Chain A
């Protein structure tokens, strides 16, 4: 295992948390009800908190003097390593919930396995994050059921959201040289090993929500190696504006 692989892996996890956290923060002041406005922004804060821990560590592993802020605000689209799933735009509330649920079910499984990582720093971060991911998954899962088994309109919107998102889920279980090296060293689980539990959890919630069953997934991938869709650029343009326009600004 090399430090390079660990650096790449930490970016993949950290960027995925950061981008999803930013997407949720876009709901601030726009959610369908006050409680959800509070919930989505609370979850956004947790995700940004996890991203800070992961990106700070990534900067230390890289050893080039970049801290969490430099990694978050001064990298361009092609240097971002997040999953394509989390950069998908919010659309309606149901779409946001479907995206969140598919991610939460994966992230909870991942952090549970990372708690026994041979890398103690990463194990510590995972042990902290796992408690919050349980809250997130319960929240997103309950909403999938409520909306799927809700009105004709909410059910149609949820079904449409899952239809749009399935294609981005295969990437969460792919492994290249980075994950393979870390799995061999006992630092991270083989991503494919997360799949059975994820599928079981997703299928159970879809069934309770009376939504169509999960189709065979033909995957689109590339986010983990910097190949993104058009949406991420717009997200970063907004998120990074201040540090780009006023380098080093603090308050």
Chain B
């Protein structure tokens, strides 16, 4: 059951039945950037699983943590609450949801482009089906596009990144770990 849910989409905005308030909340959430990868918002990362208006207009935001070891999870929840407060939604409830588990498949297409533009190779799609113990496919260099690359270390400067090197342009680069 969980595996099926993980194949779900990244929910990048309000649904058709959502009111203006929920739409405004989504806009506010688009300004909350990941402190470790500031080109990505929490919406683009697929961390926002839902925004609902509850009783008395109190907003409820469901947040999915990314990597278990990410030290930024706490500050992100705080920033989400602060952005909603500034957008006129004081006392918004921010709920953390562990299941279904966050996957790199939930990152938006725009987010993938921005990762590449900032020199970080985006994660390949299909994380849910990928057998991570099998040899990984070659990651394309975000600078020159060559797939003649090698892994330097599976663990990089943050919990979400691995370190690679391009054998064509000889530059080292980060890649977003696929989970």
**A interface residues (Cβ-Cβ under 8 A, vs B):** 35, 38-39, 42-50, 53, 115, 120-121, 123-125, 127-129, 131-132, 134-135, 137-139
Tell me, rounded to whole Å, the shortest Cβ–Cβ distance linking A111 to chain B.
11
A47, A48, A128, A137 — most chain B CB neighbours (10 Å): A128
CA of A123 to CA of B6 in the docked complex: distance in angstroms? 13
B70, B133, B155 — most chain A CB neighbours (10 Å): B155
Chain B interface size band reads 20 to 34
In contact, B157 and A38 (Cβ under 8 angstroms):
yes
Give me 15 A-to-B residue pairs in the complex whose CB atoms sit less than 8 angstroms apart, sorted by A's number.
A35-B163, A42-B69, A46-B68, A48-B69, A49-B70, A115-B2, A123-B99, A124-B100, A127-B2, A127-B6, A128-B68, A128-B98, A132-B179, A135-B132, A138-B154
In contact, A128 and B155 (Cβ under 8 angstroms):
no
Is chain B's binding surface mostly helix, strand, loop or mixed?
loop
Which of B3, B6, B132 makes the CB contact (< 8 A) with A138? B132
Q: A-facing mask of B37-80, CB < 8 A → 1, else 0?
A: 00000000000000000000000000000011111000000000
A127-B2, A131-B127, A138-B133 provided; 6 other pairs, C-beta below 8 A?
Answer: A42-B69, A45-B70, A49-B67, A124-B99, A128-B68, A138-B132
Which of A35, A46, A124, A139 makes the CB contact (< 8 A) with B101? A124
Tell me, rounded to whole Å, the shortest Cβ–Cβ distance linking A55 to chain B.
13
CA of A50 to CA of B163 in the docked complex: distance in angstroms? 24
Tell me, rounded to whole Å, the shortest Cβ–Cβ distance linking A122 to chain B.
10
Nearest to A51 among chain B residues (CB) is B68
Nearest to B101 among chain A residues (CB) is A128
Tell me, rounded to whole Å, the shortest Cβ–Cβ distance linking A243 to chain B.
18
CA of A120 to CA of B6 in the docked complex: distance in angstroms? 15
Q: A-facing mask of B128-171, CB < 8 A → 1, else 0?
A: 00001100000000000000000011111101000100000000
B116 contacts the other chain (CB 8 A): no
In contact, A46 and B67 (Cβ under 8 angstroms):
yes
CA of A35 to CA of B161 in the docked complex: distance in angstroms? 12
